[in-house]
Structure formats: structure tokens, C-alpha cells
Structure 1
Amino acid sequence: MLRAHCAGHLDTMRAEGRYRDFAALEKLADRFPAYRWHPGGGAPPREITVWSSNDYLGMGCDPAVRQAAADAIAAHGAGAGGTRNISGTAPLHAGLEADLAAWHGKPAALLFGSGYIANSAALSALLSALPGTIVFSDAMNHASMIDGIRRGGSGKRIWRHNDLKHLEVLLREAPPEAPKLIALESVYSMDGDVAPLHAVCDLADRHGAMTYLDEVHAVGLYGATGAGIAERDGATARIDIIQGTLAKGVGVVGGYIAGDAALVDYVRSTAGGLIFTTSMPPATAAAARASIRRIRDNAGLRERLGERAAALKAALDVARLPRLPSESHIVPIPVPGAGHCRMVARRLLEEFSLYVTPINYPTVPRGTERLRLCATPFHTDAMIAALIAALCAVLPMVREP
């Protein structure tokens, strides 16, 4: 019965055009953003350009980062060998947590296996600690935050995305004595827009709410040292808990929280997602530390990212190709219809050797499907020109008049 039920759901997903295929892509570290695509079916591999990598700065390919990982494997082996509590905490882990705390200007930080686990485990633990807490969650928050809020068992109020007036109404309607937590992201990865952090913090101060900020798509990319939008906007001290990832701007894998020492220690002591999970491999911790050092000292890399994102947006506008009004390095192109969006992405890959991720439901609402572009500092003018030419060929039906 279960097999038939699952098979039926898969058939529905295929019929709606939202069944997800995983393209076999081999990252070419010395030539990023070049990858080798393995089409399968006996077809030979083909070199392509990837336009949807979350390795936003290419730090996963940085020679110093790669060397740090190799040295750590040689010294400590491939795996940590246990949970943080069972032989899985090395000086590399403690050092990385100290680096992250200092980077975000917070007293303490805590590592997790992924950004998803960090959000889910930290939010559920913190909310369970204070029964009766009401969480005010932005409508566009990531699934990991939604999962953590749900598992925390607290009351929840959803405020319309980046709508401060709606947030204020919901805060006013809540019992004044109830503990409150405002949960939001800094950069929203599907639209590329940015949260008004100081305005949110003003409301939090006015209504006695704590703040929890997901900086996953901003860490490494914004601010004087790359610590994120909170650093860029001078809002770090006003945020109670900052959550981030090591899998995007930092270029490796893992997640973390940074904040007040007692809050972080409570999560460390109670969060099942940490306690019962094998610790991050030493090579990953070493690579992350090397990457963060490189990022902090390399403002030019962030400037190049911003310039490349602006060049991509300008080229799309000149070609009269539609795009959402992104404020960040993320550039979404609307292609409504799940089947249509998948078809466009497939043509770009098969006919033009360009990989662009199609985004459909449930990641975005039905009817708002899109391609998600991310220029890196290593995408050249020639690469942008090739992408624009390909999009003009496959998107004539959605081009603006």
C-alpha cells in the first residue's frame, strides 16, 4: 500500500512538471565555475558553465582552503569519529566556533552539521525552554526555520513578507506579558530581497521581543569583514541570535548559531540535532577556518561579486529579459509553470551547456516558478554574454515587449 501511495504521488509530480531530476555535475576546482556534466545514457561528459552554484565566492575551490582540508585529513583522518560529546570535539571545532563568534561580534557560537539542522535544532530548543513564547515568522522564512518553530511547540504568527505594518499589528495584538521572538532572514534566496533589519529591531524593542536572524545567504558576502547584512547595516548588536551556514559563501558545509553565551550553551546542552549527530569532519572545520580568514581579509572579492551581479542584471535589462527586482547577488527570472520552467532549464543545459536551476513548488508558490541565477566573482563578461544569448533563444515567449 505504501509503495503504491508513493508511486502515485511521484506520478502526480511528473504530470505537473515538478518531479526533480538531479543533474550529475562534476565541479572542476581549478576552473570554477566550469563543471563537467555527465548526461548518462552512454552520452559522453560535457563541460558546462554553472549559473546556480551556492558557492557564491568560489571559496570551495580556493587553493588555501583546499590545502587546509588536505592537511587536516593527513593529520586527523577523514571523519571526526563521534558526536561532540563522544570523542568528536577537536581543537579545530572549538577554534572554528571561536572564529565564528568573533566574526559576528557575539560571545559564543555553536556548530551543526548543516544550516537546516542549525535552524531546526536551535529554534526548537530555545522555544521549548520558554513555554508560551509567540514566534512572529516572516512568511518567506526557510523550511528549516518553520520546522524548528513547529517542533518548539510555540504559538506562531505569520507576518506578510517584509511588511512592517503587518508585523506591528500582530505584535500589538499579542498579550503584552507573553514572551516574543521575531524570526526572519536577511537575504531571501528565492526573490533576492533584503530585510529592513533596523526597522524590525525597532519593533522588537518596542514590544519586548527577541530577534533571530538567518544570515545563510549573506554570510561571507556583505559587511566590512563579510559577516553578513547585520554587519553591513550596523545591526549586529541588536540581533539576539544569528544563524549562518558554512555551505554557501564559506564554500564548505555545516551550520551554526552565534549569540549570548547562556543561550548558546543551552542549545548545546539540549538540542537533539546536535547531541545525537556525528561531529563535523576535521577537514571541513579546517577548511572553514581557512575560508573565513580569506574572506575577512579580502573585501575585493565581495566587491567583485557585487560588480558581477550588477553586470548580469544590466545585461538582462538591455536584452529586455524579465527579472525580479533583486537587491542582492541573487537574480531570479520568472518562468511561470513548473513544466515550462523545467523545459527551459533543460534546453539551456542540453543546447547551450549552461546549468541554471529551475525553482518550483513547494519552494515557491505555484505560478511563480523561476530560474535562479547567481553570478560569482569568476563569471566573465563573455560568460554573461553567452547566457544572455541563450536566454533570448529559449525565452522569446516571456520577454517583455
Structure 2
Amino acid sequence: MESLTKTSLRVCPFVKSHSSSAMKQLAKRSGLLAEAAHCPVMGPAIEAKRNYSHPSKAACAQATDSITATKINHDATAAAKAAAELHSFDSNEKATDYNGFFDNQLNKKREDNSYRFFNNINRLAKEFPKAHLQDEADKVMVWCSNDYLGMGKNKEVFDQMIKTMEKYGVGAGGTRNIAGHNRHAINLESEVAALHKKEGALVFSSCFVANDAVLSLFGKQFKDLVIFSDELNHASMITGIRNSRAKKHIFKHNDLEHLEAQLAMYPKSTPKIIAFESVYSMCGSVAPIEKICDLAEKYGALTFLDEVHAVGMYGPHGAGVAEHMDFKAHLASGIASPNYKTVMDRVDMITGTLGKSFGVVGGYVAANRSMTDWIRSFAPGFIFTTSLPPSVMAGLSTSIRIVRKNVEDRINQQLNVKYVKDEFKRAGIPVIPNPSHIVPLLVGNAADAKKASDCLLDKYKIYVQAINFPTVSTGEERLRITPSPHHDKQICDQLIESVDDLWRDLDLKRVKDWENIGGHCGVGSATHTPLENLWTDEFLQLTNADLNPNVLNPVVEQLEVSSGIKV
């Protein structure tokens, strides 16, 4: 009200024309409010205050209130009309040019070649990894899908979803809080918890939502929280950290010395979270999870690990890179926990997606019992979001069970990745080096990356999306290829030959060209140390027969924390 009063003193003709003593007399006779209603500034403000800030209680309403309200509404209308007439004479005042702002921003993206085009790609369930464009007869081979194992076409999952949908319908009916909990949610969260060998798990509509909901909740609930974030973290984690309003430090990618220097700035008693990913999807690098856990324990921090691009593909059962770190122990114990504290046990929170290797949609967080219940009870992103449909959750439970017991799919994917990387290396195609399943081809500028993607699609019927800013830094634009178990040798050879021709036709830099300028992104760099693939030759010899029989059809105990812990 103070700023409103100051404004009135400057522009209100009524205030200007009355002395202070006159105003005081009006106030004593309760006439000031009636006079102020005619003011173009004070009138609407008082009316808004009356109607919205201090509504009358129904029990105290009087018959005369309606008469007073009618007069005030009439006065307010007159004041609004007077204000409109007053502003109509101000020719210098214009509304914001919203469309002009939009067009300007879009033009900038077009000029720097970072404007994004979404291709019309319609994946064919019975012909994976094929898809058709707008015309169903126009088919292409998809080489950049995140349906890493092809579970999106799995018939067992498909049949389970149809069966559940026919019985329970196509939607959940709302949030769990309002529409109610259901057996499909309980079963799915039990399967997720069992996969990561955690006490609890919660399922969200996506992992973007999960990351945002969990990280932002910590910042709002823990006073003086500090979050330490890897510089290459996904946008969902960046959003969650920003929404947390917690103090943050960004450490250089996978740089343990830089991370420790930042951690050492704070007492051990200061609440802290180290947020990082296992596999970074645009470059394929892998985090030193065990060493980050060492630092977390040393400095009193929680660990938040995003396994989105690792679940399904790493570890003997597809629980991700954290499981992969104790591969032989988990292989031997199966669905049970090994008899010592593993790397996966040491990670406090694991988030993952249900829309990539598991082939459907959704995200989750897995943690201990009390943390899971705390997130369930306090996170708005969980409480107020409509649940996934029963059919989706039933299909996902089936998918996790299939992926857990099928190590051969993981191995076949890795064999195809190895073949493609080796052949590209032989042809001098610049693959950004990494120990994972990601095959990033360095192009180095946005215009060429877009041109290469378009040419592959139009000329060779191969779909590989160009990756540009802000997903990657300017000058590091690339094509990102993700082989699956279903890209057989014939399909791989077609890709390799097409990319080789494309690099020649567009005169794109090969490995030797990058060497001549000192290397870039690890390509052609004399100082780069070759990285051993996470899937060693020993692991690549395994078959499904080498799995512990307890993973074939396990009885997974339902989680009490999924519904709420009874006291």
C-alpha cells in the first residue's frame, strides 16, 4: 500500500486537490473510502483488495451488503472507464510485442543453425528397427533410438498391456492420492526396488519429472543444502537443482580433484548432494561411481545417480553401471544381494527411465525405506501428477522381468556396438572415444551436422538425428548412433558404407584431419588414453545359462512403502 500511496500522490487529481487536514477530516467521517472509489488509481486497487483479499464471511453477511456492493461496483466501473480514457491519450505507451520477441529468438536459432526440426518417424513394431516417414511406404532404418534393446516391440510386454487394458481401462483416473493406489503400481515399484536391490522405489511419469521432483524437494527441505553437479548433467537434473534453490557447485566432467576441492570448502555437517550420471548419453563417457562414493562418505554427502542411459544394458541383470562395478558378485547372487556392501548399495539414490531400455514410458527413484517414504509424502512432483495407466505399469513389470533374465540381449547389443566402432575406426570416421554403447560421430559444426543427418535420411534411408547446441557445446556437434541387438551385420554394413560415402561427399573431417589440428573431443588427440569397454571380452562370452536360476521367475515381495508405512 505504501507504493500505491506514493503513486497516488503523484498522479491522483483528488489527492492533489485536497490538503492533508481535509484528508484527515474525510477519514474521520468515513468518507475517504467513498471518495477514493472515484479515483482511477485508488478505486480499482481498493475494489480488488475488498473482493479478493478480505472476502466477507457468509455467516456475517448483512442485507445492506448487497446495496453497498452495487454502489461500489458501479463506482469501480466508472473508475475503470475513467482510467481507460486516461490511458487512451498516452500515445507513447504500447503493449509488449510478444510475437516479435518469439520471432527474434527463433531467427537467432536459425542463423546459428541450432534450430531443431523434428522428423516424422513412425517406428514399426513388427519391423524394428525400421520406421516409416509420413508416407507409410517410405521406410527408413532407425539408428538413434533410445529403445536400446527393442523392448518396445516385445510381444510378451504387448500382450500383458492389452490384457490389463481390457480389464482396467486405458487411464489411471488421476493421482494416486485422489484416484487411489493400485496393484500395478505396487508391483512395478517392487520390481524396480528389486532390480536395484534397494528397500524402496517410486514411479513417476518420466525420469525428467523424477529428477526434478527429488532434487528440488531436497533443496526446499534441507536448510543450507549444497548440491555438487557434474557439468555434463542432463537438463532434468539441472532443472531440479535450479528449482531446489539450493547453493550449487558445478564440477568439471568426471574430475574427482575438482569435486573434492569443492566438497572440502564446507564442514562435514553441511548437508550435501553429489548429482551425476553413470553413462552420459551424448559422449558415452562413464562416471567413476565408486570413487565418487568414496568422496561422498569422506565429506558427508548423499549420492544421486542418474542411470537413465545404463539401465537394461549394464550389469548381469540390467540394473546399470553401479551393478556392473560388482559384476561377478551380482551374477553369482542373482536377485539376492551379495554378502558385502556393493557399489550399488553405496549409492543413496538411483534414478532411471522406463522409456528407453524397458521400452515403454515413465521414470523412477530407488532408495532406502525412509527416504522413499519421505519423497512419497512430500514431493509435489509425485503427489500431484496423474499416475501412469495400469496397462503401462503392468507392461513395465513384465519388461523388467524379461530384461533381468536376458543377458544375451545386452551382450548382442555390445557386440554390434563393438563391430560398428571398429569398422568406423578402420574407415577413419571420427568416433568420440568412450567405453559405452554410444557411438558419437564428431562433425564439429551445426550446419554440417544438419546436412549430414538430412542426407542420410533422404539419400540412404537412414535416420540419425543431428545433435547441436544446447545439448552439446558449439563446435562439438555430432551424429549420435545407438546400435541395438536387432541391428544385425547386414544392417550395420549398410550404415558403415553409407556414412563413409557421406563423409566423402560432404568433405567432413576424418580422424587424420582432427589429428592435424591437435585433436578435438578426444578424436585425434595424442594425449588421449584408450578406454576399455565396460563389457570385457570375458563378460561377452556369457549366456543366459550362466545366470543364477533365481532370476528366471522370482517372487518379488511387495513394498509396504509404496502405499505408506503403517505405524
Alignment TM-score > 0.5, same fold? yes
Alignment partner, residue 369 of structure 1:
477
The reply on whether 1:23 has 2:129 as its aligned counterpart is no
Which whole-Å deviations, capped at 9, do the CAs of 1:296-352 have from their partners, x for residues lacking one?
Answer: 110111111111111110111111111100211111011111111111100000000
In 1, distance between residues paired with 2:281 and 2:511? 24
Q: For this pair of structures, how many residues does the alignment match?
A: 397
* Structure 1 residue ranges, 4+ long, deviating more than 2 angstroms after superposition: 174-177
Tell me the residue number matched to 2:453: 345
Secondary structure (helix, strand or coil) at the match of 1:348 reads: helix
Structure 1 contact 88–278 (Cα < 8 Å) conserved: no
Residue 208 (structure 1) shift: 1.2
Q: Distance in 1 between matches of 2:352 and 2:171?
A: 22
Which of residues 197, 203, 207 in structure 2 aligns to 1:115? 207
**Counterpart code for 2:163:** D
What is the distance in 2 between the residues matched to 1:177 and 1:240? 17
- 1:273 is aligned, of 365, 378, 381, to 381
Find the aligned partners of 1:210 and 1:182 in 2 and give their Cα distance: 6
Render the CA deviation track for 1:173-204: whole Å, top value 9, x for unaligned: 22333111111100000110111111111111
Given the superposition, is the C-alpha separation of residues 2 and 88 from structure 1 closer, same or farther in structure 2, using an over 3 Å criterion? farther
Distance in 2 of aligned mates of 1:128 and 1:262: 18
Structure 2 residue 495 is the aligned partner of structure 1 residue 387:
yes
The alpha carbon displacement at 1:88 in A equals 4.5
Aligned to 2:273: 181
For 2:318 and 2:268, locate their aligned partners in 1 and report how far apart those are by CA, in whole Å. Answer: 37
CA contact (8 A) 2:152 2:358 kept: yes
Q: 1:400 aligns with which of 497, 511, 514?
A: 511
| CA shift for structure 1 position 151 | 1.0
Summarize the alignment of residues 35-74 of structure 1 with structure 2, pairs less than 5 Å apart.
35-38=131-134, 45-74=137-166
Q: How does 1:313-324 map to 2 (within 5 A)?
A: 313-324=421-432
Counterpart-to-counterpart distance in 2, 1:195 and 1:253: 25
Contact 1:326 1:332 in 2 (8 A): no
Task: List aligned pairs for 1:194-205, cutoff 5 A.
Answer: 194-205=286-297
Which one of the candidate residues 332, 341, 363 is aligned to 2:440? Answer: 332
Query: Counterpart of 1:3?
Result: 99
Match of 2:282? 190
Q: Root-mean-square deviation (CA), in Å?
A: 1.1
Counterpart-to-counterpart distance in 2, 1:109 and 1:176: 28
The SS at the match of 1:263 is: helix
Q: Quick one: which amino acid aligns to residue 260 of structure 1?
A: N
For residues 243-280 of structure 1, the C-alpha deviation after alignment (integer angstroms, 9 at most, x for no partner) is: 01101111110000000111111111121212221110
Structure 1 segment 200-211 matched on structure 2, within 5 A: 200-211=292-303
Residues of 2 paired with 1:340 and 1:273: CA distance?
39
Q: Which residue pairs with 2:371 in the alignment?
A: 263
Alignment of 1:233 onto 2:308: no
Deviates more, 1:118-127 or 1:369-378: 118-127
Q: Is the 8 A contact 1:56 1:248 kept in 2?
A: yes
Q: Deviation per CA, 1:29-85, whole angstroms, max 9, x where unpaired?
A: 11110111126xxxx741110000000000010110111111111111111111111
Aligned twin of 1:149: 241
* SS of corresponding position for 1:173: coil
Q: 1:170: which partner in 2?
A: 262
**Which whole-Å CA distance do the structure 2 matches of 1:326 and 1:31 have between them?**
30
How far off is 1:89 after superposition? 2.3
Residue in structure 1 matched with residue 543 of structure 2 by the alignment = none
Amino acid in the other structure paired with 1:74: E
Residues 269, 300 of structure 2: 8 Å contact kept: no
Residue range with higher mean Cα deviation, 127-136 or 91-100: 127-136
Give yes or no for contact 1:190–1:372 (8 Å, CA) kept in 2.
yes
Distance 2:307 2:142 in 1: 24
Instruction: Indicate the structure whose relative CO is greater, using CA pairs within 8 Å and at least 6 residues apart.
Output: 1
1:34–1:49 Cα contact (<8 Å) kept:
yes
Cα distance, 1:400 vs. partner? 2.8
- Structure 2: how far apart are the matches of 1:357 and 1:199? 34
Aligned partner letter, 2:157: V
The equivalent position to 1:298 in structure 2, one of 403, 406, 411, is 406
- Please tell me whether Structure 1 or Structure 2 has the larger radius of gyration of its CA atoms: 2
Partners of 2:181 and 2:502 in 1: how far apart? 51
Q: Which runs of 5+ in 2 are unaligned?
A: 1-96, 327-342, 513-567
The alpha-carbon deviation at position 24 of structure 1 amounts to 1.0
Which amino acid in structure 2 is aligned with residue 24 of structure 1? N
The CA deviation at 1:109 is 0.3
Identity across matched positions, percent: 42
Q: Which has the higher strand share?
A: 1
Q: 2:546: which partner in 1?
A: none
Deviation at 1:14, TM superposition (A): 1.5
The one-letter code sitting in structure 2 at the alignment partner of 1:6 is F
Which residue identity does 1:256 align to in structure 2? Y
Query: How much has 1:394 moved relative to structure 2?
Result: 1.6
Instruction: Tell me the residue number matched to 1:99.
Output: 191
**SS of the residue 1:242 aligns to:** strand
Q: What is the CA–CA distance in structure 2 between the aligned matches of 1:153 and 1:139, rounded to whole Å?
A: 18
TM-score, normalised to structure 2, is 0.69
Q: Is the 8 A contact 2:277 2:306 kept in 1?
A: yes
Q: Which range moved further: 331-340 or 113-122? A: 331-340
